[in-house]
Amino acid sequence: MEAKVFQEHLEKNLIPFWSKMKDEENGGFYGYADFEGKPDIKSTKGVILNSRILWFFSSAYQLLHKKELLIMAEHAYNFLTDFCYDSRYGGVYWSVNYDGTICDDTKHTYNQAFAIYALSAYYQASRKKDALNMAYILYRTIEEKCRDNNGYLEAFKRDFSPASNEKLSENGVIAERTMNTVLHVLEAYSELYKADTFYEVGDSIRGILKLFKKKIYDSEKQICDVFFDLDYHSLIDLESFGHDIETSWLIDRGCSVLGDKAYMNEMEPVINGLADATYKNAFDKSQRALNNEREGTHIDRQKIWWVQAESVVGFYNAYQKMPWKKEYLQMAEDIWQFIQKSVIDSRSGEWIESIPADSQPDTKQALVHPWKCPYHNGRMCIEMIQRLSQAS
């Protein structure tokens, strides 16, 4: 693997595609584009989508230092602050209509986290204090309104009264706590701490790391449980391969940002265990790619775009930590080859969401929707460019 190949994909494919999704008339970015890459200009704009796009252009600017990327980031920032933030009750909405009016006023902890993540990256790119200040406002919102004494809660109504968590529950269960939300609060706080090393945020990161080790990570299976009740009883026998390898490197990132050797030593069994179990349990040798998940005894063999992206970074991170394990490097290389051959859409440069195990991709899949954005694949490119450049 070479840094220049990832940079070429970032600059020639992902950045041009997502730049075309910019809504010049109403602000933000189009919320939907079909398999041909044609946007629906009146589609709902998910706030997660727009937050992740803000993160993407901010981070790409920090890597490439091209002014047009900062201009795109500013466009996303203005939409987030002008239309997605609730000045009455605080927090960001779940979604807005194409013209910026409120569509779904649900307040979700996961959504607040991605806004913090994006604003922290934009502050590092632009040095605009207002962006950092808003990130801290949302940090306070999560810590004061979106948690209890035992950890982070999920969904709320507009005024932060409790609501059911259908939005981040799957596989037939409604979860009162999820690994996914806690993971991305960790990621958001790590980016905020990287931007401005405020001790309270560091303490919050330490608390989340403890939560992963004590409540979320199953040390016997070396996997993270996914869906929980309020007392952290797992609701389903589910192994999410993509989330596990993503958690491995994001916990490592959180420890690195903290610069706390004691926490790194404490969390290394979790970091390494997740990588090891995913390597053993998830790889499809026939397609040379990662399966989606295991529920009970059934393995879902779809090849999901974001799972492949996280696997490249996650296994390369594991190889960097344990360079004697060449199989991790080979895994990252194999999956990147699969991505180039089967996942990147040759017409648009964006990635196809789902590749079936035994048939051609469904042409009714969208290239853009509220969960489909340049976060996972863009982050993979940025991470691998940085890591491979440092290694050379």
How much is the pLDDT for 232? Answer: 98
How much is the pLDDT for 203? Answer: 98
How much is the pLDDT for 24? Answer: 98
Residue 131: closest CA among 57, 93, 87, 80: 80
Residue 390 lies in a domain: no
Residue 184 lies in a domain: yes
Residue located via tokens 């040798």: 285
Q: How many distinct structural domains can be found in the chain? A: 1
Range of the domain at 133: 3-384
How much is the pLDDT for 252? Answer: 98
Residue 291 lies in a domain: yes
SS (H, E, C) 16-65: HHHHCCECCCCCCECCCECCCCCECCCCCEEHHHHHHHHHHHHHHHHHHC
pTM: predicted TM-score of the whole model, two decimal places: 0.97
Gap between the Cα atoms of 277 and 13, Å rounded: 33
Residue 370 lies in a domain: yes
Residue 80 lies in a domain: yes
Q: What are 234's two structure tokens?
A: 């797992």
Residue 350, domain CATH: 1.50.10.10
Residue 389 lies in a domain: no
* Tens digit of pLDDT at every position of the chain (392 positions): 899 999 999 999 999 999 999 999 999 999 999 999 999 999 999 999 999 999 999 999 999 999 999 999 999 999 999 999 999 999 999 999 999 999 999 999 999 999 999 999 999 999 999 999 999 999 999 999 999 999 999 999 999 999 999 999 999 999 999 999 999 999 999 999 999 999 999 999 999 999 999 999 999 999 999 999 999 999 999 999 999 999 999 999 999 999 999 999 999 999 999 999 999 999 999 899 999 999 999 999 999 999 999 999 999 999 999 999 999 999 999 999 999 999 999 999 999 999 998 878 888 899 999 999 999 999 999 999 999 999 87
How much is the pLDDT for 357? Answer: 86
Please calculate the CA angle 291-152-120 and round it to the nearest 5 degrees.
80
Contact present, 109 and 153 (Cβ < 8 Å):
yes
Gap between the Cα atoms of 331 and 169, Å rounded: 30
Beta bridge partners of 391: none
